């Protein structure tokens, strides 16, 4: 992206970009539609305030909560933000991609909101557009608002973010590759039967993200049901493209964040240990010194450099998050998949940078809840945290920083029992202290009629 330190930056994004990159001609793995979870993901764009500086603007689908913004400004985040909802994306938006969903694509919403936002003088011409990820509509917004933005093309983004690309890259780099690419029902049945004979295995969609698009096959009967399900889609005209791989005995998930300059320069930003469950992201903590030493000794960072070189050769530049694993036997699996965009672990690094002056350390986490009748507002939750001494401020080395507000309340008008999620930074020098903070938060939320979602 353009790096012009003196001009304002416009931070906005779609956190489920993978769904907009996906080719709709391909067959899909089974998934239950969940509109409430979708709205939570749409509201995650408020997390992008972590990238802001004093003169920057954060644009979100739903206006950020005023009490939350006031708290963040007290911490030192002096960004501007929209006070009205963005308009819904319109089918008449310039050059809409047929694979894009107007409800998810923030650039289509910005196009539809041009007159309203222009009248507020919120977005200065000549500012730098800093998206979470490049999706359809970025060029239209850049031209419409007179913004600067150097970014790879949409086709390059689709190419390098596909699991097909990362799977093939393993062979290019000479990395052990246990993944199989299947493009027909015959291949899927043959490879699936071979893998299930040795134990559970995964079927991966080429654009699955955070638990969606990964299916664990544990028995031969489950495989047969899946074959029948997909065969129906192929019969109706869908194409087949999946990645199959045996389930590994994993000890630790971790990820490496690095940046590729337009000239091909390579800069490692951080390594974060990732907390996952059922393939879904739960949080990030800074990698331990022991893990970093093991990665250095195992040549991991040289593989990251080679990965960056291949990405640049493919036309990509910008932020990258490479997901990796450490197996129970100590083997490093350096390249699980590539996220050629900003990432949750990069957001964790932004919290680290913010806390650097205070000498504090943190864990990025979230709590998923079901809001029942009588549930409190976000303002009430925030003030309750403050009253109990749980809320972080710059005078202390311990506490909770709420990183989102709308994700907790976005579904409150949709149902009596509504899903919510609160993203937080748990700040404490010790892991035990961070765990205590998380438990205190869960207890406080339950007292305010936000019950555990699982």
Lowest mean pLDDT among 182-191, 275-284, 435-444: 275-284
Query: Helices 300-313 and 289-297, interaxial angle, to 10°?
Result: 70
Distance CA 163, CA 156 (A): 14
Interatomic CA distance for residues 297 and 363, integer angstroms: 26
Q: Tell me, which fold does domain 179-246 have in CATH?
A: Dna Ligase; domain 1 (3.30.1490)
Residue 279: pLDDT band by 50, 70, 90 thresholds? low
Region 364-387: mean pLDDT is 94
In angstroms and rounded to an integer, the radius of gyration of the C-alpha atoms of the chain is: 22
d(CA 102, CA 86): 12
CB 88 within 8 A of CB 103: yes
b/e code 23-49 from CB counts within 10 Å (16+ = b) = eeeebebeeeeeeebbbbbbbbbbbbb
Q: Mean pLDDT over all residues of the chain?
A: 91
User: What is the helix, strand, coil percentage profile of the chain, to 5?
Assistant: 35, 25, 40
Q: Which pLDDT does position 237 carry in this prediction? A: 96
* pLDDT confidence of residue 352: 94
DSSP 247: P
Tokens of 152: 């790879």
Angle, alpha carbons 398-403-408 (nearest 5°) = 120
What is the DSSP code (8-state) at residue 103? T
pLDDT of residue 6: 76
The two structure tokens encoding residue 98: 């047929």
CA distances from residue 246 to 59, 145, 194, 451 in whole angstroms, order as listed: 41, 48, 10, 36
Asked if residue 252 has pLDDT above 80, the reply is yes
Asked whether the whole model's pTM tops 0.75, one would answer yes
Q: Which of 204, 223, 222 is nearest to 213 (CA)?
A: 204
The pLDDT of residue 99 is: 38
Fold of the domain built from segment(s) 249-339: D-amino Acid Aminotransferase; Chain A, domain 1 (3.30.470)
Res 66 pLDDT > 60 = yes
Q: Which of 366, 379, 386 is nearest to 452 (CA)?
A: 366
Q: How do strand 250-260 and strand 201-209 relate by DSSP bridges? A: unpaired
Minimum mean pLDDT range among 63-72, 84-93, 282-291: 84-93
Could you tell me which residue, 412 or 170, shows the higher pLDDT?
Answer: 170
| 89: confidence class by pLDDT, cuts 50, 70, 90 | low
Domain extent listing, the chain: 9-152, 179-246, 249-339, 350-452
pLDDT tens-digit map of 93-147: 333 333 334 457 999 999 999 998 988 889 998 999 999 999 999 999 999 999 9
Average pLDDT over residues 282-311: 95
Give the separation between CA 321 and CA 258, rounded to whole angstroms.
Answer: 7
Contact 17, 23 (CB under 8 A): no
Binned at pLDDT 50, 70 and 90, residue 283 comes out as: confident
Mean pLDDT, to the nearest integer, of 294-309? 98
- Is residue 196 pLDDT above 60, yes or no? yes
Q: What is the largest CA-CA distance in the chain?
A: 64
Tell me if 203 sits within 8 A of 29, measured CB to CB.
yes
Question: What would the two tokens of residue 426 be?
Answer: 């748990």
pLDDT digits (tens, 9 = 90+) for 378-421: 999 999 999 999 999 988 889 999 999 999 999 988 777 899 99
Residue 92's pLDDT band, with cuts at 50, 70 and 90, is: very low
Residue 140's CB is within 10 A of a number of other CB atoms, namely: 18
| Domain 350-452, architecture per CATH | 2-Layer Sandwich (3.30)
């Amino acid at each position: 992206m353009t790096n012009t330190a003196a001009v304002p930056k416009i931070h906005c994004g779609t956190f489920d970009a993978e769904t907009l990159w996906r080719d709709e001609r391909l067959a899909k793995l089974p998934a239950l539609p969940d509109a409430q979870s979708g709205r939570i993901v749409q509201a995650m764009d408020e997390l992008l305030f972590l990238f802001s500086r004093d003169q920057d603007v954060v644009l979100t689908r739903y206006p950020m909560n005023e009490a939350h913004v006031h708290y963040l400004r007290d911490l030192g985040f002096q960004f501007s933000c929209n006070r009205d909802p963005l308009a819904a994306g319109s089918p008449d938006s310039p050059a809409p991609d047929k694979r894009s969903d107007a409800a998810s694509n923030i650039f289509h919403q910005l196009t539809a909101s041009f007159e309203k936002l222009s009248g507020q003088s919120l977005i200065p011409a000549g500012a730098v557009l800093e998206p979470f990820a490049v999706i359809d509509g970025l060029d239209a917004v850049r031209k419409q608002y007179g913004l600067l933005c150097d970014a790879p093309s949409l086709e390059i983004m689709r190419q390098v973010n596909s699991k097909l690309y990362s799977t093939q890259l393993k062979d290019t780099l000479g990395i052990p590759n246990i993944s199989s690419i299947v493009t027909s029902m015959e291949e899927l049945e043959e490879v699936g039967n071979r893998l299930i004979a040795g134990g559970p295995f995964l079927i991966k969609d080429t654009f699955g993200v955070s638990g969606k698009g990964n299916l664990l096959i544990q028995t031969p009967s489950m495989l047969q049901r899946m074959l029948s399900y997909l065969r129906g889609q192929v019969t109706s005209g869908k194409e087949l493209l999946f990645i199959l791989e045996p389930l590994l005995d994993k000890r630790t998930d971790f990820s490496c964040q690095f940046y590729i300059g337009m000239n091909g320069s390579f800069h490692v930003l951080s390594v974060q240990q990732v907390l996952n469950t059922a393939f879904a992201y739960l949080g990030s903590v800074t990698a331990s010194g022991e893990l970093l030493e093991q990665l250095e000794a195992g040549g991991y960072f040289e593989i990251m450099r080679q990965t960056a070189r291949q990405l640049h050769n493919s036309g990509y530049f910008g932020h990258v998050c490479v997901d990796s694993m450490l197996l129970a036997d100590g083997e490093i699996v350096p390249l699980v998949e590539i996220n050629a965009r900003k990432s949750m672990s990069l957001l964790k690094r932004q919290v680290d940078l913010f806390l650097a002056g205070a000498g504090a350390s943190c864990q990025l986490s979230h709590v998923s809840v079901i809001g029942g009748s009588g549930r409190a507002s976000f303002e009430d939750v925030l003030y309750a945290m403050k009253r109990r001494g749980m809320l972080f401020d710059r005078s202390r080395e311990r506490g909770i920083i709420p990183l989102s507000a709308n994700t907790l309340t976005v579904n409150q008008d949709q149902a009596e029992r509504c899903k919510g999620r609160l993203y937080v930074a748990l700040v404490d020098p010790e892991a035990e202290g961070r765990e205590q903070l998380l438990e205190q938060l869960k207890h406080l939320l339950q007292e305010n009629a936000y019950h555990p979602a699982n």
